[in-house]
Structure 1
Amino acid sequence: MPIWPSRPVGTGTTRPPPPRRCAVEPAAPDSGAPPTFPLREGLTTISTNSPTPPADAHLKVLQTRVYRGPNVWSYDQAVHLVVDLGALEAFPTDTLPGFTDRLIELLPRIEEHTCSRGHRGGFVERMREGTWLGHVAEHVALELQQEAGHDLRRGKTREDKNRPGVYNVIFGFYDERVGLAAGELAVRLVNELVHPTADFDFDAERERFLRLAARTAFGPSTAAIIEEAVSRDIPWTRLNQHSLVQLGQGVHAQRIRATMTSNTSALAVDIAGDKHLTGNLLGSAGLPVPKAETVRTADDAVAAARRIGYPVVVKPLDGNHGRGVILDLKSDDEVREAFPLAEEQSRRGVVQVESFITGKDYRCLIIGGRMAAIAERVPAHVVGDGEHTVAELVEITNADPRRGVGHEKVLTRITVDDAAIELVREQGYAMDDVPATGDMVKLALTGNMSTGGISVDRTFDAHPDNVEIAEEAAQLIGLDIAGIDFICPDITAPVRETGGAICEVNAAPGFRMHTHPTVGEPQFIAKPVVDLLFPPGSPSRVPIVAVTGTNGKTTTSRMLAHIMKGLGRKVGMTSTDGIVIDERLVIRADASGPRSARMVLQNPRVDFAVMEVARGGILREGLGYDRNDIAVVTNIQTDHLGMRGIDTLEQLADVKSVVVEAVPRDGFAVLNADDRLVRAMRRRCRGTIVWFSMEPPGSPVRDFIEERCRRGARAVVLEPSDRGEMIVLKQGRRSMPLAWTHLLPSTFGGAARMNVANALAAAGAAFAAGAPLHDIRQGLRTFDTTYYLSPGRLNRVEVNHAEVFVDYCHNPPGMRMLGDFVESYVKARQGAAEHRISRIGMVGAAGDRRDDDIRELGAIAAHHFDVLVLREDANLRRRAPGESAKLLEEGVRAAMADGARCRQVVTVLDELDATRHSVRIANPGDLVMLCVDQHAAVLAELESFTHQAAAGARTDEDCPGDPDLDPQQLTSEAAESSAAEDGELREVLDSQEG
């Protein structure tokens, strides 16, 4: 997938390109040639004598991708469709008769789209002038989501520069499933408008799409809370396909499910679910409640009703939404008839009989112990007009666009069942009777919104005594969010004087009667809920540091995590080795993608996040979160080129710069000033830049940094002196010494220059995160490249008195830096060595790299090692066994022919076999560099060498010392090498030792 398009085709509200017109260009009048469509290279010219597209021409979706965070196309989450227009590339919209008018007829609101013109109707203008059908699919997908209630306006369409007729269609989404369905239906509709078919019913398809959107949408209560959270910049994540949502990140995270929160007591919910127990608790506190008894049989219900006194109410003990509640029962027979209806809705089979309280139905919403809203609930009903029957009036009422099925809209459609028909009959009507004008006909006895009732806002009408009673009831039950159901003649008068009672206390009360009252002003009740979870001034986000680059990002991430751990932070880290929570590896996998980032942010222990961000994850799904407080870019070098449309370093830099673009205005970007492509990313950053550089004073790069520091910028640089190099933090004109590079364990006395650069980057990120200088200094001084702190990154082990290093180096720039380390390290040790130090390197290359990159890796290694052992990864990545090793060998031998240091090449494909061979050919004091794929297995194998030698369990055959002096002692693992090569290797090492 190319990143850079050859031209813009269409856009929503982001980065509008200039309008592009595609129209018929007639030939010169005197040429006699028919006019043709202007087509790009590789497409057949189509004459206007055939003004309609071929019958088999249609949009084809080649690939679908979902970005769940900032990505190369958008700052927000988006759906990406790669569509192939095929022959339709020759037919822009102005060449398709009636196309635009038919689209407007089906989707009238598409005339509101501004597109790049910036005014209403801009997109229709583009269609009439001529635009490509991929652009049309983008706008149709956005409009379909608009019809589903998702206010989305961002999108763009870009042509694939390498594949004529192939377009990248990108548009935003709120719900992933709805966004994907919108894209699919949009492509189908465009194809239908080009070639109409008899079996495509757009109205039916749209209805199916809207039902999907309704099923996946949050209910009114959850949506209100999320909307309030978004307005406060509180991040949220949907944890299932329903209403379970996490607000906030890491240690600050809170969860809600509808109107139940992380603070809702399970005990309080159980109490509220037991209506009999609730009544007893409230009654014992002196609050007005009806008389009530629980029963299990119809006979017991009749007996209880007689004791309480008629009229009574029969309802399930643990029901909800008013289901199974039968009111105003005045005889034994009515109680017997009502009992099975209530019992059916009771989960435990227990029914409550209570005294019937006359009056209006009020719902008092209590949040955090305080009254937030009051609504009067009016049962489902119709009002006669003297013309229509009751059944017709129900249909007219249900036609209100505000009414839907269940909780999908602010009102619920009225359902006419046997109970409703019986209730209408009791009021003196049949369903086909015509009520007089103004007559109210009830279709339900309870005022629940879920049964078709309506609500009237009474928040500011309630008497203070009634408010106090409701608040006390919520506190007695222990609910943080409670719905107190009052039955009383008038909420404006004290219920203790006028009569009335609390008939129920509800956990997880619905909000829509308050947020969308049928009559009255809506109440913004989500605010106190979010205040309850996140009191004003409390944080909701954990600091996120995103580390990216070609090389060094894993070590930099580990250094930074180690520094912050020293401050007492619980660090969650993603890397190519897995997910680490507070220095504990919880998942062992390549976890440098967006899904791993989301897992870290959902962990309730994490209060600081360090994310290693790889190129593949950005291209596949985006970042996985909305922004990072600090972005670190180590370098941009040749690796992964030729994959996913990334062919140049500039394109790779464009991908990596996504983390810089995700920095907010109060954030920081820690950039490598020595890399021109990283240095250029400063133009993409809205926050503050922190530079780091390995260049000495007086160099152009240092002059660049010094000039900016004089204007208040921050930087981490090296200051050379007679005593060595000092890492210095600079802020404005201040210079703060941090640490000597040669005293940092990870640098091996300053020889590992790549870790010096990583230390600069980590120090800059920690400084930006607010870490004190002492803690940064201490973190760098105590970070070592042991297997426990930095597995697979320059781990040193001594095996048979030879120094063995294990590293993950796998690309040419990394090998160049590793070779520089070998040169410096051997030079520092050679003076104290009794013999010449031989260098043995084990090298492998990932099979998905370009052939030339693999050859270059081998050529670079040949300049730094005397002996090279070539291996292959376990995952060959679609290459044949031995193919990668052969390419490596070609690069090595080409370098050897040009005079490179290497004198011997051995191919041992299996990594562990190659490890054993590399160690066994080493003499005491030699240096063995193992560039590995599976570092854990290799380290375990090296440990077995060490343990066996320490136990004296190895024989001369097991531990031959220098098997190259005796070819007969070569182990079976290295049998692939020829006797001639072994003899040559013996001569090479002998001459070096001499």
Structure 2
Amino acid sequence: MIINRVRYLKGPNYFAYTPTICIELDLEELEEKPSDTISGFNEKLLNALPNLGNHTCSKGYRGGFAERLRQGTWMAHILEHMAIELQNMAGIDVIRGKTVMMEKKGHYQVTFEYQEPEAGLQAFLAAKEIAEAILKGEKEVHVQSYVKKIEDLYYKNKLGPSTEAIFMAAQKKNIPVERIGEDSLLRLGTGSRQKYVQATISSQTSSIAVENACDKSLTKSILKGCGLPVPEGAIAHSIEEIFDAADRLGFPLVIKPYNGRQGQGVITHIKNKDELFNVINCLEAYVEKFIVERHIEGHDYRLLIVNGELLATSLRLPPYVIGNGKETIRRLIEKENRNSLRGNGHEKPMSKIPLTHTVTCYLEKTNRTLGSIPKQGELVQVAGNANLSTGGKAIDVTEQVHPTIKKMAVAAAKAIGLDIAGIDFICEDISMPLDHSRTAIIEVNAAPGIRMHHYPSEGKKRDVGKAIIDYLFPSREDAAIPIIAVTGTNGKTTTTRMIHYFLSNDKTMVGMTNSDGVYIGEEIVDQGDCSGPISAGMVLAHPEVDVAVLETARGGILREGLAFRQCNVGIITNVSEDHLGCDGMDTMEDLVKLKRLIAEVVMDTGYCILNADDPKVAQMGAYTDGEVIYTSTDPSQPLVKEAIKGGQKVWFVNEQGMILHSSDSVTQPFMECTEIPITISGMARHNIANLLQALAAAHTQGISLDELRKKAVTFMPDTNLSKGRFNLKKLNERTIIIDYAHNEAGLKAIFETVSAYNRKHLITVLAGPGDRVDEELIRLAKAAAIHSDLFIIKEDDDLRGRKPFEVAELLQEAAVEAGLHKDRTRIVLNELDAFVNAWEASRPGDLLLFFYTDFEYVEKFFQKVSSNRLSAQ
């Protein structure tokens, strides 16, 4: 078996709405060996991965996959299920998968859900190795070693529990969320409404407040100045100063690094000078300053404040082990660390107890070492603090907190200036009123961990992640700018450009992606074909964009999925044969399903704008949660009549060429097609169709009909507003039309439009994209040949796997077969040379159609003409 290609489809995609790995796999000789023909394979596989027997598969019931194995299924399908199961065994909750046969025999697209890409790919590689080991007849397959590797990768790369809780809460509330980089930075929301969260520090958090919280001495000073309880203490720069502070403060004491974090290096409850002597040599040598404080007797609590409200409180217990009279403290800690709830760092609900300097120091305080053997049943505390990061436990006590303590915690957060804060507090009983003489605020934490509240060792879980999201964004509308997504076979770019133009004004910054660039307002920030998810991501991430208008082409969806989980407006222009045979899109049904994705991701409060004149598009209304708006250039369209009768929103053209808008069964005229430049005096039916959808989209965003009328008459089909889409130039008594049409349907639309033009001869310059199947290229050539007096055939700079002249000669043969004499065809491979050849062959009164691939060649051609270096006969 050979892996030919791996794709990570991060957004909604052809196969699923969740992140999906797509692997193109060549089964080689195994294509001839379904599972029922491989002796002993099924039994060994189910023995190695017993839970595969519970997979439902397409059967829809438990045990369905095992039944498929017995009946005979192919190895690609088996690997799909194995990759899902191996992830499940590693603690990764995934369920979806699908295996699709490709056009080439033995080649498959194996797709399955993932949560973390490296772990997901490793699951497939492990599945492949396990299957190959079984096929080779190896007696033992150590599945757990594979599972451990997947698990390690998952926890190494995934978000920490605090950040993950916020991430999941955002998704649950339908707030766009994206991890930035490899650490804990999240971008929440889109465009001008976006905010950031780093761990639990938000865009709203004051940097001064964070600085205050990080300076422990300053924190104490601020709190003390507000009358809030803090322990007596002093700053020490040396061992001598530590002993001097101890003499002044008295015992018991706490010593901690001045700039410490997560409880590291903290030594508590030092009861006398002997214990102080025992621990003094354990202090971290690199620490320049220490805080020495009076130890306050009581329990250690963490109170979590968000936006001035106490949301959760945990009783934190230091890590401990219980002796059995036989094993050392080291051995007891190692056994406890194998608890499935404990992990490295913050990866699991509890952290492993660190076998570090901090533990040995604490044990030395009571003359113990890691080699000491506690008595049977003896409880031995192994660290002086109760931080989860040092192995502590947390018990939820939120409902026990006395109102006076709640008030104190809120005041402490406000005093430091934090919107999200963790207040570390010591007292005997948190359910009793605040007693300043017997309690103390130990620390005020910026970026407090919320793992303990989501995964307490005991007590009720508190959804702090949701509270943080609710604080940052009361609703989705506060977080997400409107997204208008445009897909289809033809007309996407023109429709997208018109919507951008209709929505733009002094108060609204519109971001746009299309097939020639990324635009922020009128500024182009990237050039080239920018109709994929990376370009869409640029617009959605730009902090000044108020509305996103995104051309969404098939290639980007297939490569990475969508850049958004949902859109406010989804537009499907049309669906016709194009790119069939590429990337697994072998049939029209495949293409329809792919384009339909935009309809499927429209929000239930959004709009799905469908071309009612295309039956394949019109049927997509059954797949959307949004309100369907139909558009039509056919006044006799039954679907439109029915929609108007039912009170739906409709944009259509009547027999007289008037554009009408209907809503709530009230129909009113908009404008005559002939008055709108983009319709080319009403002749360009395809542009009328694009215009209707653009008008419908802009109107859903609150643009009035009067404003749309003003915009419609000023949108010109020129190189400024609609570059490369039916741009018309008149030179030396010739008419030149430049367009990007590159499939049969697009070509026919252009020839239909120019059929009303007066001309002597029609000269067409055209190339056939090399990644199209021969049948599609032949239809393209015949469409051109039927309408042309001279057909000049060029080739793209990128041959897309074809040989030079291969496509050009195929087009020439098809043109001749369609009835155009061979003398009326020419092959001129270079695009610029082809345009020049057409110009030189033209006469006054001729019409030249330049179907370009690279607009730069169009610009160079006109530069030559304007500099008089070219002469027409």
Whether TM exceeds 0.5 here: the answer is: yes
Asked whether the 8 Å contact 2:794–2:808 carries over to 1, the reply is: yes
The one-letter amino acid paired with 2:384 is L
| Map of 2:794 onto structure 1 | 871
**CA drift at 1:588:** 0.8
**CA drift at 1:255:** 2.2
Match of 1:746 among 668, 678, 681: 678
Q: Does 1:551 align with 2:484?
A: no
**CA drift at 1:516:** 1.7
The 5 A counterparts of 1:794-943 are 794-799=726-731, 802-824=734-756, 826-827=757-758, 839-895=762-818, 897=820, 905=825, 907-919=827-839, 927-939=847-859, 941-943=861-863
The one-letter amino acid paired with 2:21 is V
**CA drift at 1:473:** 1.3
Once the two structures are superposed, residues 235-287 of structure 1 have per-residue CA deviations (whole angstroms, 9 ceiling, x without a partner) of 32222233222223333323222212222222221221111221222222222
Q: Does 1:230 align with 2:171?
A: yes
| Map of 2:572 onto structure 1 | 633
Alpha-carbon distance between aligned partners in 2 of 1:537 and 1:207, rounded to the nearest angstrom: 39
Alpha-carbon distance between aligned partners in 2 of 1:959 and 1:601, rounded to the nearest angstrom: 45
Q: Does 1:730 align with 2:662?
A: yes
Provide the aligned length of Structure 1 versus Structure 2: 872
The one-letter amino acid paired with 1:705 is V
**CA drift at 1:769:** 4.6
SS in 2 for 1:754: helix
The one-letter amino acid paired with 1:786 is D
Asked whether the 8 Å contact 2:89–2:147 carries over to 1, the reply is: no
Cα gap change, 1:82 to 1:803, in 2 (>3 Å): closer
Once the two structures are superposed, residues 60-86 of structure 1 have per-residue CA deviations (whole angstroms, 9 ceiling, x without a partner) of 444433322333323433222344444
- Mean Cα deviation higher: 309-318 or 580-589: 309-318
The one-letter amino acid paired with 1:326 is I
SS in 2 for 1:736: strand
The one-letter amino acid paired with 1:744 is I
Alpha-carbon distance between aligned partners in 2 of 1:221 and 1:433, rounded to the nearest angstrom: 36
| Map of 1:201 onto structure 2 | 142
| Map of 1:424 onto structure 2 | 363
| Map of 1:3 onto structure 2 | none
Cα gap change, 1:623 to 1:959, in 2 (>3 Å): closer
The one-letter amino acid paired with 2:661 is L
The one-letter amino acid paired with 2:296 is I
The one-letter amino acid paired with 1:614 is A
Cα gap change, 1:232 to 1:389, in 2 (>3 Å): same
Alpha-carbon distance between aligned partners in 2 of 1:509 and 1:627, rounded to the nearest angstrom: 31
The 5 A counterparts of 1:331-346 are 331=273, 334=276, 338=280, 341-342=283-284, 344=286, 346=287
Alpha-carbon distance between aligned partners in 1 of 2:493 and 2:799, rounded to the nearest angstrom: 23
The 5 A counterparts of 1:171-186 are 171-186=112-127
**CA drift at 1:320:** 0.6
The RMSD of aligned alpha carbons is 3.2
Asked whether the 8 Å contact 2:90–2:147 carries over to 1, the reply is: no
Alpha-carbon distance between aligned partners in 1 of 2:581 and 2:419, rounded to the nearest angstrom: 56
Match of 1:561 among 477, 484, 500: 500
SS in 1 for 2:647: coil
**CA drift at 1:767:** 3.8
Cα gap change, 1:146 to 1:678, in 2 (>3 Å): same
- Mean Cα deviation higher: 281-290 or 411-420: 411-420
Structure number with bigger Rg: 1
SS in 2 for 1:475: helix
% identity of equivalent residues: 37
**CA drift at 1:838:** 5.3
Match of 1:758 among 676, 690, 694: 690
- Mean Cα deviation higher: 707-716 or 794-803: 794-803
Asked whether the 8 Å contact 2:483–2:550 carries over to 1, the reply is: yes
Q: Does 1:71 align with 2:10?
A: no
Cα gap change, 1:121 to 1:224, in 2 (>3 Å): same
Once the two structures are superposed, residues 564-608 of structure 1 have per-residue CA deviations (whole angstroms, 9 ceiling, x without a partner) of 225954322221112222232111121112222233222233332
Once the two structures are superposed, residues 278-304 of structure 1 have per-residue CA deviations (whole angstroms, 9 ceiling, x without a partner) of 122222222222334444444444445
Once the two structures are superposed, residues 348-397 of structure 1 have per-residue CA deviations (whole angstroms, 9 ceiling, x without a partner) of x4433333333322211111121111112111112345565534432442
Match of 1:219 among 136, 160, 173: 160
Alpha-carbon distance between aligned partners in 2 of 1:91 and 1:851, rounded to the nearest angstrom: 32
SS in 1 for 2:400: coil
Once the two structures are superposed, residues 330-361 of structure 1 have per-residue CA deviations (whole angstroms, 9 ceiling, x without a partner) of 549947964883453x5xx4433333333322
The 5 A counterparts of 1:70-469 are 70-89=12-31, 91-93=33-35, 96=38, 99-128=41-70, 130-160=72-102, 162-197=103-138, 201-329=142-270, 330-331=272-273, 334=276, 338=280, 341-342=283-284, 344=286, 346=287, 349-385=288-324, 389-427=328-366, 429=368, 431=370, 433-469=372-408
Asked whether the 8 Å contact 2:677–2:714 carries over to 1, the reply is: yes
Alpha-carbon distance between aligned partners in 2 of 1:340 and 1:99, rounded to the nearest angstrom: 59
Alpha-carbon distance between aligned partners in 1 of 2:242 and 2:58, rounded to the nearest angstrom: 70
| Map of 1:33 onto structure 2 | none
Alpha-carbon distance between aligned partners in 1 of 2:74 and 2:786, rounded to the nearest angstrom: 54
Match of 1:524 among 463, 486, 498: 463
The one-letter amino acid paired with 1:817 is A
SS in 1 for 2:755: helix
Q: Does 1:789 align with 2:721?
A: yes
SS in 1 for 2:399: coil
SS in 2 for 1:749: coil
**CA drift at 1:514:** 1.7
Alpha-carbon distance between aligned partners in 2 of 1:748 and 1:653, rounded to the nearest angstrom: 30
Alpha-carbon distance between aligned partners in 2 of 1:112 and 1:884, rounded to the nearest angstrom: 51
Asked whether the 8 Å contact 1:799–1:942 carries over to 2, the reply is: no
Query: What is the TM-score when the length of structure 2 is the normalising length?
Result: 0.92
Cα gap change, 1:104 to 1:926, in 2 (>3 Å): closer
Alpha-carbon distance between aligned partners in 2 of 1:114 and 1:842, rounded to the nearest angstrom: 55
**CA drift at 1:561:** 1.7
| Map of 2:582 onto structure 1 | 643
SS in 2 for 1:435: coil
Cα gap change, 1:484 to 1:585, in 2 (>3 Å): same
Alpha-carbon distance between aligned partners in 1 of 2:66 and 2:813, rounded to the nearest angstrom: 59
Alpha-carbon distance between aligned partners in 2 of 1:937 and 1:845, rounded to the nearest angstrom: 16
Asked whether the 8 Å contact 1:249–1:542 carries over to 2, the reply is: yes
The one-letter amino acid paired with 1:706 is K
Asked whether the 8 Å contact 1:563–1:778 carries over to 2, the reply is: no
Q: Does 1:621 align with 2:560?
A: yes
The one-letter amino acid paired with 2:85 is E
SS in 2 for 1:586: strand
SS in 2 for 1:842: strand
SS in 1 for 2:283: helix
The one-letter amino acid paired with 1:66 is Y
**CA drift at 1:215:** 0.9
Asked whether the 8 Å contact 2:785–2:820 carries over to 1, the reply is: no
Mark the runs of 5 or more structure 2 residues left unpaired by the alignment: none
